[in-house]
Amino acid sequence: MAGLTPIVSSALPIVSMVQRQETLDQQRSLLVERQQQQLEQLQASQQLEMQSAQADAANRAAQLKLTAATDEKQRRDALRKAVAKSRVSLAGQGVDPASGSGEALLLGLVNQTDQDSREADAAYQLRAQALDQQLADQNRLNLLEQSQLADRQRLQLLSRYY
């Protein structure tokens, strides 16, 4: 029995070290699991936010398109009325609407309406691009947040266990 005492005494520190390592491994596993849950929660939250932002952008884009179509119809209706009024006015003054000056007047009205339409279309395109840019910005922000979380988690893991 006396011969076993030195062996047992020398084995106790090894057993203690193995138990400590097992405890550290369990703690590390729990931390990694908790960090994974944090990442999954962040991703789920971001996915919901992105879906909401996409739905909002789609609604705003549809509203922009409807407004643009309504404005274009109003411009065309106003052009028809202006052309008809000008023809009546020219005819009342004894000027043939198909003559040079009458045609120039009517052509000026059409050209102005076309210019207004191009400007309105350009403004619509800019608004639509802004909506797309907002979604792209949100996506980049989400990726940045995920990356920052991963960096913080790596640092936390390294500072505790290595």
Within a domain: 148: yes
Q: Which domain holds residue 18?
A: 13-161
Residues ≥6 apart with Cβ < 8 Å to 31: 156, 157, 160, 161
The reply to whether 7 falls in a domain is no
- The average confidence (pLDDT) of the chain is 90
CA atoms within 13 A on the CB side of 39: 17
What is the per-residue pLDDT for 57? Answer: 96
Dihedral class, residue 13 (left if φ above 0, else alpha if ψ from -120 to 50, else beta): alpha
Contact between 134 and 55 (Cβ < 8 Å): no
Q: Is residue 5 part of a domain?
A: no
Residue 102 pLDDT class (50, 70, 90 cuts): confident
Domain count, the chain: 1
Instruction: Write out pLDDT tens, residues 14-51.
Output: 777 878 888 888 999 999 999 999 999 999 999 999 99
pLDDT score for 112: 95
pLDDT of 4 reads: 59
Model-level pTM greater than 0.75?
no
